[in-house]
Structure 1
Amino acid sequence: MAKSIYIHIPFCEHICFYCDFNKVYVENQPVDAYIDALITEMEMVFSAQPPDQIETVYIGGGTPTALSSAQLDKLLRAVDEMLSGHPVKEYTVEVNPGGADAEKLKVMSQYSINRLSLGVQSFDDDLLKAIGRTHREKDVYFTIEEAKKNGFSNISIDLMFGLPNQTIEQWRESIMKTVALNLPHVSAYSLKIEEKTIFHNMMRKGKLSLVPQDDEAEMYEILLQQMSRSLLHPYEISNFAKEGYESLHNQTYWANEEYYGFGAGAHGYLAGVRYANIGPLPHYLSAVQENNLPIKESHNVTLQEKMEEEMFMGLRMDKGVDKQRFLRKYQKSIEEVFSRQISSLEEEDLIINEMETIRLTQRGKLLGNEVFERFLLI
């Protein structure tokens, strides 16, 4: 039974050049109608598939703080009422630096939210401008200060490396400024050029200068070193936390567990079925207003796919894939299913095959995607 909820807010005040998530400019959009539809969708799904014990909630986007204070209040009030009595341990909202003013943070503090995730990406103003971000370094400090004033201490920031024309020194500087904030959680992702993004169009035209792979690898090594020195342990390839501050919600994904997904373009995984909601806002609204679930497509996940995904996702975590847990879930041992892959990856120093777990080596973390692909059963 799913214990986690993802809620998607597709509105943005500006479109970042690297982003391929489902999003639209917030101006002149039917935001109030969307909030109503979102609440209705949740009620319909919970009626059909009642939650047992919801433990984590994550509101992402888009930009949740693109909502007005009143709209945010309406949504958060409805979520709290629906989850009354549930043992929610972690409730995260994504926050855009400079986009969450004191009033919005005060609204959030009045509900069950106990964790904020700030999309910082870089502390270099020129780089922020080059990737289409509207905030600047000073906005990061302001938002963190205001968040703390409103009682938020569990704050995570997202960083990006391998950005166009980004130097190793610029990256090192962003890491040092991150460490100086002494926050309990940091996520850091390398740039991936996705289709249907501004960067993809620029790359096709030869107008995007990407960082060499060797420099990107060095940036990751710098990240690991500095996070270790600041006592943030790498519990997942791209995520670092102080003891007790690991993201419970994201661990739902990495443990290949089921979760509810609500909103336009949201993805979910319930009763063995992965599904994707309708993306375009008018079509999503029409479906819900006609009392239909706004599902665009769904897929019954086969046993083989579940086992593959268990390896893809589980190996992202520092603790790796638990062999006994795998056996309990699938009635087969890891060695029985993936003996050939395990043997070759071990020889190549990409995984460590221990008595109880299989996990990536340091080299395996640098070549993670290559490792994951090897677990595709053809």
Structure 2
Amino acid sequence: MSERPWWKKPRAVYIHIPFCTNKCHYCDFNSFVLKGQPVMDYLDALEREMEQTVKRLEPERVDTIFVGGGTPTVLTPEQMDVFLRMVRTYFPQRSAGAEMTMEANPGTTDMEKLAVMKEGGVNRLSFGVQSFDTELLARIGRIHSVDDVYASLENARKLGFGNVSIDLMFGLPNQTLEQLDRSIQAALALDLQHYSIYGLKVEENTLFHTLFQRNELPLPEEEVELDMYRLIMDRLKAAGYVQYEISNFSKPGFESRHNSAYWRNESYYGLGAGAHGYLEGVRHVNIKGVQPYIDATRKGLPVLEKTSVSRQEAMEDFMMVGLRLLDGVNRQAFREQFGLELEEAFGPLLSRLTRKGLLEETLQGYRLSEAAIMYANDVFGEFVGFFS
């Protein structure tokens, strides 16, 4: 096996803005209610981290930047301008047509703020809509209304944003197939470029987890949740959207380039409180608290922990995340990264999963079978610790 480094310089940047107007009942992301937070001190700290990071590992070319949270659009127009100028300063080496996505919550994007974002280089918006059912939105702790959704999307349209995605959720408390279908139909009526559809996961340190432990969270039965997922796939495919990843659908050419970098197991910068990064074969997590993060950037990089990834672990990761893509894993990409063939690394397992009808061999490599899409985590789990 080749001993050359198997990683490449990062071409993707993730930046975390950890502030929110409120904490949703299902959310375990590193986020904090905005009121009373030292926002400008945080932006100053982000600049210090950016400066130290690119000094240590300068990017050759940036293909994609993703600003997540939290809710980045809780920044005021003035704060947003400061932030985007900073990003342009430290990551100016953009490829032609580079994608810059910003997550947004409906109701936090007026015309002034969106204009600042567009001027600052944001060319893709991702709105956390979750549902077009007002009662269900309140039940999961969202504070926006359905009217806020339409107003925010109309503002984006007027300002010329031509690449817009929304998130929808299924498997929510007391959610029915009929409610989900109405939300899907409302979403499709908007004729957007991209839709992300996520099933609820009850995570620790959330209100929903507390309720679940008390047996007070009325979730749909597993079979109903599977029916919801089937309904989503059927509706979006019938409307002409391509399911290019387990949870993501787009018009041709509007696939999320940033998330695709994760699914191809590529390196990426991770900046901000609680952000994850993957550089030179090492995964890191930043310090999570706002003030501890700010203080840490005054002394060096604000890293909480690092984990070195071996070549064999990276090959396992390549398979687990790559099979999320409906096109599957690519033989040539694996060969270029690791210096050997897919079958040399995973031959017996690939043969077994193919015989069981869970994988299909393609001209390019391997992909999940249509039946396995519903149970993809079971397939991914086969690659965990394969070389152990």
Under TM normalisation by the shorter chain, which class is it?
Answer: over 0.9
Once the 2 structures are TM-superposed, how far is the Cα of residue 340 of structure 1 from its aligned partner? 2.7
Q: In structure 2, what residue type is equivalent to 1:60?
A: G
1:128 to 123, 137, 149: 137
Match in the other structure for 2:173: 164
CA–CA separation in structure 1 for the residues paired with 2:190 and 2:313: 41
Q: In structure 2, what residue type is equivalent to 1:217?
A: L
2:153 aligned with 1:144: yes
CA–CA separation in structure 1 for the residues paired with 2:47 and 2:182: 42
Question: What secondary structure does 1:7 align onto?
Answer: strand
2:214 aligned with 1:205: yes
CA–CA separation in structure 2 for the residues paired with 1:59 and 1:301: 25
Question: What secondary structure does 2:317 align onto?
Answer: helix
Once the 2 structures are TM-superposed, how far is the Cα of residue 28 of structure 1 from its aligned partner? 0.3
2:197 aligned with 1:192: no
Question: What secondary structure does 2:89 align onto?
Answer: helix
Q: In structure 2, what residue type is equivalent to 1:69?
A: P
Question: What secondary structure does 1:29 align onto?
Answer: coil
TM-score, length-normalised on structure 1?
0.98
CA–CA separation in structure 2 for the residues paired with 1:283 and 1:111: 28
Q: 328-337 vs 117-126, which deviates more?
A: 328-337
Match in the other structure for 2:351: 343
Deviations 1:88-117 (A, max 9, x none): 610000010011122211111211111000
2:34 aligned with 1:13: no
Deviations 1:36-63 (A, max 9, x none): 1001110110011111101100000000
Once the 2 structures are TM-superposed, how far is the Cα of residue 296 of structure 1 from its aligned partner? 0.5
1:227 to 219, 230, 236: 236
Question: What secondary structure does 2:198 align onto?
Answer: strand
2:257 aligned with 1:261: no
Distance 1:84 1:329, change over 3 A: closer
**2:19·2:32 contact (CA, 8 Å) conserved in 1?**
yes
Q: In structure 2, what residue type is equivalent to 1:97?
A: P
Match in the other structure for 2:6: none
Once the 2 structures are TM-superposed, how far is the Cα of residue 332 of structure 1 from its aligned partner? 2.4
Deviations 1:210-229 (A, max 9, x none): 11111111111111111112
Match in the other structure for 1:215: 224
Once the 2 structures are TM-superposed, how far is the Cα of residue 356 of structure 1 from its aligned partner? 2.5
Once the 2 structures are TM-superposed, how far is the Cα of residue 84 of structure 1 from its aligned partner? 2.8
Q: 338-347 vs 71-80, which deviates more?
A: 338-347
Deviations 1:135-178 (A, max 9, x none): 11111100000011112121000011111110000011111011
Match in the other structure for 1:72: 80
Q: 222-231 vs 257-266, which deviates more?
A: 222-231
**2:62·2:93 contact (CA, 8 Å) conserved in 1?**
no
Match in the other structure for 2:111: 102
Q: 21-30 vs 329-338, which deviates more?
A: 329-338
2:284 to 275, 286, 303: 275
Q: In structure 2, what residue type is equivalent to 1:57?
A: I
Question: What secondary structure does 1:112 align onto?
Answer: coil
Q: In structure 1, what residue type is equivalent to 2:342?
A: I
Unaligned runs of 5+ in 1: none
Question: What secondary structure does 2:203 align onto?
Answer: coil
2:93 aligned with 1:93: no
Question: What secondary structure does 1:19 align onto?
Answer: coil
CA–CA separation in structure 2 for the residues paired with 1:48 and 1:312: 29
Question: What secondary structure does 1:182 align onto?
Answer: coil
Once the 2 structures are TM-superposed, how far is the Cα of residue 329 of structure 1 from its aligned partner? 1.3
**2:59·2:93 contact (CA, 8 Å) conserved in 1?**
no
Deviations 1:194-224 (A, max 9, x none): 1111111110111101111111111111111
Instruction: Indicate the structure whose relative CO is greater, using CA pairs within 8 Å and at least 6 residues apart.
Output: 2
Q: In structure 2, what residue type is equivalent to 1:341?
A: L
2:303 aligned with 1:295: yes
TM-score, length-normalised on structure 2?
0.95
CA–CA separation in structure 1 for the residues paired with 2:93 and 2:12: 15
CA–CA separation in structure 1 for the residues paired with 2:30 and 2:342: 36
Distance 1:371 1:85, change over 3 A: closer
CA–CA separation in structure 2 for the residues paired with 1:37 and 1:341: 46
Match in the other structure for 2:38: 30
2:208 aligned with 1:178: no
CA–CA separation in structure 1 for the residues paired with 2:330 and 2:19: 39
Question: What secondary structure does 2:100 align onto?
Answer: strand
Structure 1 vs Structure 2: percent identity of aligned residues? 45
CA–CA separation in structure 2 for the residues paired with 1:85 and 1:250: 20
Once the 2 structures are TM-superposed, how far is the Cα of residue 82 of structure 1 from its aligned partner? 2.5
Match in the other structure for 1:41: 49
CA–CA separation in structure 2 for the residues paired with 1:223 and 1:169: 12
CA–CA separation in structure 2 for the residues paired with 1:199 and 1:105: 32
Runs of 4+ in 1 over 3 A off after TM superposition: none
CA–CA separation in structure 1 for the residues paired with 2:91 and 2:295: 26
**2:54·2:90 contact (CA, 8 Å) conserved in 1?**
no
CA–CA separation in structure 2 for the residues paired with 1:79 and 1:328: 31
2:309 aligned with 1:327: no
Question: What secondary structure does 2:37 align onto?
Answer: coil
Question: What secondary structure does 1:298 align onto?
Answer: strand
CA–CA separation in structure 2 for the residues paired with 1:73 and 1:285: 20
Q: 344-353 vs 62-71, which deviates more?
A: 344-353
Once the 2 structures are TM-superposed, how far is the Cα of residue 85 of structure 1 from its aligned partner? 4.1
Question: What secondary structure does 2:94 align onto?
Answer: coil
